[in-house]
Amino acid sequence: MNTETPFEIFLVATPGLEQVLCQEARTLGFLQARQVPGGVSFDGTWPDVWRANLLLRGATRVLARIGSFRAFHLAQLDKRARKFPWGETLLSDVPVKVEVVTNKKSKIYHAGAATERIERAITEELGAPISPDAEVTVKVRIDDNTCIFSVDTSGEGLHKRGHKVAVGKAPMRETLAALMLGACGYQGQEPVLDPMCGSGTFVIEAAEMARGLAAGRSRTFAFQSLATFDAGGWEAVRSAVAPPRDVPLVFYGSDRNAGVIEMGRQNADRAGVSEICQFTHAAVSDLQRPDGPVGLVIVNPPYGARIGNKKQLFAVYGALGETLRSRFSGWRVGIVTSDTQLARATALPFLPLGAPIAHGGLKVRLFQTGPLP
């Protein structure tokens, strides 16, 4: 496979937010991007893979399809895996791990046995060591007796931007925060305020988007350890990113926990957006409306607590709703929570509800309003 030949690129999405990721991919110029279950797919080349990893804020990871073949039994899988052109993608001195998923539509259904055959083919034919800690993962889907091979080009999940070191108790993943901002129609042109900001994920993500910073500017990726990598081409992709914009906006975070506010400040500093972020130690009932243009309030209040705490949570959501209804006329609101009753306790005028979204073993939903009266 050379860097010029197009192949399928698959962007893994948070389930329930595929459409938002598809929109982001198209906005970044991946015009053929189409929504499929679990993600977004389009055809592209290796420089597109590098660009997708560098720029996309909502993708969980970026997979590159490297080939497929039919296999009806393990001996056939073994033989064909040994003939597979691994050296076009993998390097013989870079450790690899293999992950296989099977389904009932295939005669090969034992993922462990299939993994073992493919790992053996890679080590014995290419020479690459197999390691459970490898940064490079070959993902194999055996569907309808076809083995489909992809390589995970991201390595560490793309929510790891490389800035957030300090986190509170229940931090939101940056990728999910970006998709939620996108689902609220945020395009980097209005202020954003999170009144329960924890370590500042929404605030920092929104500020980075406003400045036009590349999501992956501070980290490395697994594609840098593949045979298809070209340092000059990668440098060209990085240098094509427009310089950061000056932004006449402020991004506000507050929380009743002073410790997490300090973490938010440090994280914003590391991300290079501290001059446009303002973190304040305040309970939601003491929150004041900022001067300046209206924008988006986005918040991920506590939820999923033990039953004994539910009463307290109703009071917290009630106070949030009261503050927003009385002081934030003209602002839009997005609340991320798993609990519809708690969301309703805000007494905010919600728009029709979107699909459930998988988040940390729970299903959450985004409760949105239009501009508040």
Residues that bind ligand SAM (CB under 6 A): 168, 170-172, 196-199, 201-202, 255-257, 260, 283-284, 300-302, 316, 319
DSSP strand pairing (146-152 vs 192-194): unpaired
Residue sitting closest to ligand SAM (CB):
198
Least CB distance from residue 100 to ligand SAM, whole Å? 33
> Of 152, 149, 132, 133, nearest to 141 (Cα)?
149
Closer to ligand SAM at the Cβ: 104 or 169?
169
CB nearer ligand SAM, residue 45 or residue 201:
201
Nearer to ligand SAM, 39 or 168 (CB): 168
Q: Which residue has the tokens 């938002």?
A: 20
Least distance in angstroms from the C-beta of 312 to ligand SAM: 9
Q: How far is the CB of 334 from ligand SAM (least distance, A)?
A: 12
Q: Residue ranges of the alpha helices (H) in the chain?
A: 18-27, 46-55, 74-83, 111-121, 174-183, 201-211, 231-239, 258-271, 310-327, 340-344
Among 336, 333, 335, smallest CA distance to 362 is for 336
- Report, in this order, helix, strand and coil percent for the chain, each rounded to 5: 35, 20, 45
The least distance separating ligand SAM from the CB of residue 302, rounded to whole angstroms, comes to 5
Handedness of CA 120, 126, 131, 136 (dihedral sign): negative
- Shorter beta-carbon distance to ligand SAM: residue 153 or 346: 346
d(CA 247, CA 38): 34
Shortest spacing between CB 308 and ligand SAM, in angstroms: 16
Q: Which is nearer to ligand SAM, 10 or 202 (CB)?
A: 202
